[in-house]
Homo-oligomer: A and B are copies of this chain.
């Protein structure tokens, strides 16, 4: 790869999620020379990933190729590569396809699910961070239904029709609601399955769901999920997991699928830098988003530890990531083009939300809250707006909303190899 120093300062952005992409766009719009490195070729609208897992959306509906988004900026290029490390003295990023020099480095590598040391659980209980995980969960859910339809064993059938979601945060709540609704629609298509046979369990180790929300909304979410038929188990710790069983308390429950949503940790990017991460692996940053002790390195979004004016870390939310990316892109653009100093970042809370099925949602705006059907309508409007601005595809969004409201699952495709166990002949270089 060509690594000659560019005539104008070059910014390398590692990670094309909400933070990295927002930053690259702002820099690109200001004519700054930018290289975005990501191991995926697409930006993902993660907040709706649970809808891919429950067959309401297709992967391409919520994923946008980075090249497409960034293609319009003349000085922005994209490299599909895995970062191996950073040499902050030589100002160079090492990747599996060569090294890339930088003048300013932006780390926006996001977060991953935390399996608390049980890495073997990662395979049996996928989280909802990537399309691949969502696809795997979709396959397991759809296949569990298919097998339940034909099995002669009532025991196997009961197991296949039991879906477990671990973790009562927004992902767990949204997934539990969506799985329960999927279950409610099966009787039309599966002649041997009655909707009441379909069981959904949401298991949370703490004393309430949605711990980051005010307590009133937690109770409401539990109530609403129970209305949808979800069994909510609080103060319950999972002791062991396999692909077909979940062990908690003193029971080993045979299940059809397990979804993991029990807490995230920062990606391991802190290992590349001479910094001390916090317990969750986050990289401490100044108010300017500069990595502590590193003038030319910045960290954004889930991977950054940013303390607000009260000294509390900002949460791992899409809106934080996006605002930080936009802020840094503008600030760094002005700095590079006009020598401006870097202003501090301030987070503006746009409201934290979680949706519970197709009739209820909760919103926390800090000073006030909203819940119920009105919150759901607001949630739908906000997400259609976000999807449209994300993809510039109005038709997809309308169609999505229509299918979502009518419960018509458009993406219930089971890949053939999933069933036979034959792998999909992965491509290696």
Seen from chain A, the residues whose Cβ lies within 8 Å of a Cβ on chain B are 1-2, 39-42, 58-61, 63, 65, 67-68, 71, 77-82, 97-98, 123, 130-132, 135-136, 139-140, 142-143, 146-147, 149-152, 188-192, 393, 395-396, 398-399, 409-429
13 inter-chain pairs at a CB distance below 8 angstroms, sorted by A residue, are: A39-B419, A41-B142, A41-B146, A41-B412, A77-B192, A78-B189, A80-B143, A80-B149, A82-B420, A123-B425, A132-B416, A143-B427, A421-B426
Decide: A149 and B426 in contact? CB cutoff 8 A: no
Top 6 A-B pairs ranked by shortest CB distance?
A67-B189, A423-B423, A421-B428, A80-B146, A60-B411, A58-B60
| Total copies of the chain | 2
| Contact partners of A142 in chain B: CB under 8 A | 41
| Contact partners of A393 in chain B: CB under 8 A | 399, 410
Decide: B188 and A71 in contact? CB cutoff 8 A: yes
In chain B, what residue has the closest Cβ to A75?
Answer: B191
In chain B, what residue has the closest Cβ to A62?
Answer: B413
Bound CA–CA A409/B188 (angstroms): 35
| Contact partners of A143 in chain B: CB under 8 A | 80, 427, 429
Decide: A98 and B59 in contact? CB cutoff 8 A: no
Decide: B419 and A80 in contact? CB cutoff 8 A: yes
Decide: B417 and A132 in contact? CB cutoff 8 A: yes
Decide: B414 and A132 in contact? CB cutoff 8 A: no
| Contact partners of A188 in chain B: CB under 8 A | 71
| Contact partners of A79 in chain B: CB under 8 A | 149-150
Query: Taking A98-B150, A142-B41, A150-B1 as contacts, is the C-beta distance between A426 and B418 under 8 angstroms?
Result: yes
Given contacts A39-B416, A131-B413, A419-B427, 20 further A-B pairs with CB under 8 A are A39-B419, A39-B420, A58-B58, A65-B413, A67-B189, A67-B190, A71-B188, A78-B149, A79-B149, A80-B147, A80-B419, A97-B150, A130-B416, A136-B425, A136-B427, A140-B427, A418-B426, A421-B428, A423-B426, A424-B424
Bound CA–CA A60/B412 (angstroms): 8
In chain B, what residue has the closest Cβ to A81?
Answer: B150
In chain B, what residue has the closest Cβ to A70?
Answer: B189
In chain B, what residue has the closest Cβ to A100?
Answer: B150
Bound CA–CA A426/B416 (angstroms): 10
In chain B, what residue has the closest Cβ to A97?
Answer: B150
Decide: B413 and A132 in contact? CB cutoff 8 A: no
Query: Taking A414-B40, A429-B147 as contacts, is the C-beta distance between A1 and B152 under 8 angstroms?
Result: yes
Query: Taking A79-B149, A416-B40 as contacts, is the C-beta distance between A423 and B421 under 8 angstroms?
Result: no
| Contact partners of A410 in chain B: CB under 8 A | 60, 393
Decide: A65 and B147 in contact? CB cutoff 8 A: no
Decide: B80 and A415 in contact? CB cutoff 8 A: no
Q: With both chains docked as a complex, state the minimum distance between the C-beta of A137 and any C-beta of chain B, in angstroms.
A: 10
| Contact partners of A2 in chain B: CB under 8 A | 152
| Contact partners of A78 in chain B: CB under 8 A | 149, 189
Decide: A42 and B424 in contact? CB cutoff 8 A: no
Q: Which of B65, B77, B81, B422 contacts A412 (CB 8 A)?
A: B65
Bound CA–CA A425/B121 (angstroms): 12
In chain B, what residue has the closest Cβ to A140?
Answer: B427
Bound CA–CA A417/B417 (angstroms): 15
Decide: B151 and A97 in contact? CB cutoff 8 A: yes
Decide: A41 and B423 in contact? CB cutoff 8 A: no
Decide: A427 and B418 in contact? CB cutoff 8 A: yes
Bound CA–CA A414/B67 (angstroms): 12
Q: With both chains docked as a complex, state the minimum distance between the C-beta of A426 and any C-beta of chain B, in angstroms.
A: 5
| Contact partners of A139 in chain B: CB under 8 A | 427
| Contact partners of A426 in chain B: CB under 8 A | 417-418, 420-424
Q: With both chains docked as a complex, state the minimum distance between the C-beta of A343 and any C-beta of chain B, in angstroms.
A: 31
Bound CA–CA A310/B82 (angstroms): 61
In chain B, what residue has the closest Cβ to A69?
Answer: B189
Decide: A65 and B189 in contact? CB cutoff 8 A: yes
| Contact partners of A412 in chain B: CB under 8 A | 41-42, 65, 67-68
